[in-house]
Amino acid sequence: GAGVSQSPSNKVTEKGKDVELRCDPISGHTALYWYRQRLGQGLEFLIYFQGNSAPDKSGLPSDRFSAERTGESVSTLTIQRTQQEDSAVYLCASSLLWGNTEAFFGQGTRLTVV
Amino acid sequence: AQTVTQSQPEMSVQEAETVTLSCTYDTSESDYYLFWYKQPPSRQMILVIRQEAYKQQNATENRFSVNFQKAAKSFSLKISDSQLGDAAMYFCAYRSAWRSDSSNYQLIWGAGTKLIIKP
């Protein structure tokens, strides 16, 4: 596709369940970011994949959060044993590795833990 | 490590007036890129304008322009003739340029400024 695609758009899950969020980046974009955004707040960095280098996982808030990316393709963010405080919009962005090109964002996944 | 600061959590402006959003950053690098993004209530983040640090000329995109002061590490966004559609969160971001001794080109974000347009 032409842009960054995230699925699902909305997800309601019960506390304690695991969820998997998907991001399809723009083809050829070697950099991929995951962010969490609570209502009315800024971007909270979660994880950054940069080409074949080891990902920067420094933003993951707990060991319940993990993310994978195979090569330069799809990435999945997994949240295990979801808690109510995990409720937020999860945004994915991709970009070329360097240069003045911007990051392109998906529409995000709104996660609600009930 | 680089940091980006947006000191105005919220700004309001009358429709058709001009408003300036501030952004300062801290870095020891000489070459980098700066961006302003807009996030309307639809939550789709879109690029408003970008600036290369090696360029002295301020970037402009229609009603949007920046005041880039490299020595002061300041990168403010001016919106002229404000329109109702400009209401959104605005985020400032920093990205390193390529360096042979670095491999981290991650975007560094400010906390955002909520812009309210008064009709």
Nearest one of B88, B70, B76, B61 to B22, comparing CA atoms:
B76
Give percent of chain B with pLDDT exceeding 90: 79
Residues of A in contact with B107 (CB under 8 A): 33, 93, 95, 103
- Other beta carbons within 10 Å of B83: 12
Domains belonging to chain B, first-starting first, are 3-118 (2.60.40.10)
Report yes or no: A84 and A16 within 8 Å, Cβ to Cβ. Answer: no
The pLDDT tens digits for B11-27 are: 999 999 999 999 999 99
Q: Which residues pair with B88 in a beta bridge?
A: B115
CATH 3.30.1300.30 fits A5-113, yes or no: no
The pLDDT tens digits for A75-106 are: 999 999 999 999 999 999 999 876 667 899 99
Q: Does A33 touch chain B (CB under 8 A)?
A: yes
Q: The tokens 């971007």 sit on which residue?
A: A43
B5 — phi, psi (to 5°)? -125, 125
Residues in B whose CB is inside 8 Å of some CB of A read 33, 35, 37, 43-47, 50, 52, 89, 91, 93, 96-98, 103-107, 109-112, 114
Which residues numbered 35-74 in A keep a CB inside 8 Å of some CB on B?
A: 37, 40-43, 45, 48, 50, 53, 56
Nearest one of B73, B104, B71, B60 to B5, comparing CA atoms:
B73
Give pLDDT, residue A99: 67
Chains A & B: contacts with CB separation below 8 Å: 55
Q: Domains of chain A: which residue ranges?
A: 5-113
Give the mean pLDDT per block of 10 residues along chain A (114 residues).
90 98 94 92 91 88 95 93 97 84 92 98
